[in-house]
Chain A
Amino acid sequence: EAGVTQFPSHSVIEKGQTVTLRCDPISGHDNLYWYRRVMGKEIKFLLHFVKESKQDESGMPNNRFLAERTGGTYSTLKVQPAELEDSGVYFCASSTDRSDTQYFGPGTRLTVL
């Protein structure tokens, strides 16, 4: 069974540009989470989907971040316009049930210049 996959693995963009990150959860996992780790700091929660609905988006830093999960399968996280402080590694995780173990993808390393 394939694990959580993320695309791209790396992205380098200039300040003010737009970037879209994609996450494909493990098949059958209704719960999908986005996290990010800014250099040298802890991994922080961004938001949680249950199927296509946003269950908790308390960690989204501001309205430059937009997450979607149309159809309840894969999810995208768009940053528009990107700022320097958005640089970091963005992780996606999924679980079958909200009480189950969260399995993480390899992450997307975003660098904003």
Chain B
Amino acid sequence: ELKVEQNPLFLSMQEGKNYTIYCNYSTTSDRLYWYRQDPGKSLESLFVLLSNGAVKQEGRLMASLDTKARLSTLHITAAVHDLSATYFCAVDKYGGATNKLIFGTGTLLAVQP
């Protein structure tokens, strides 16, 4: 059974600091998704990583994918309070273009002033 694990589950960080969220998955997949969820809100798509070595950046967030290690990272640079949210990674359940997603456990990020 495909498992998607994130760590840490909770991250409290100060503004201006850097940190990385890790997403490990247990079977092969050619794509990986990152979503953001604010409290009481739906999911906002951040990144879709489609190949080994893929790197995408948007503002203070940068995501990368290593399909051989079955690992994706979401790196936060110089955090600001507005980044406080829960971040989920997700993997296609069947490793391909089914869009049936298995979500990670989520990482609750709290950026302190």
A pairs with B = no
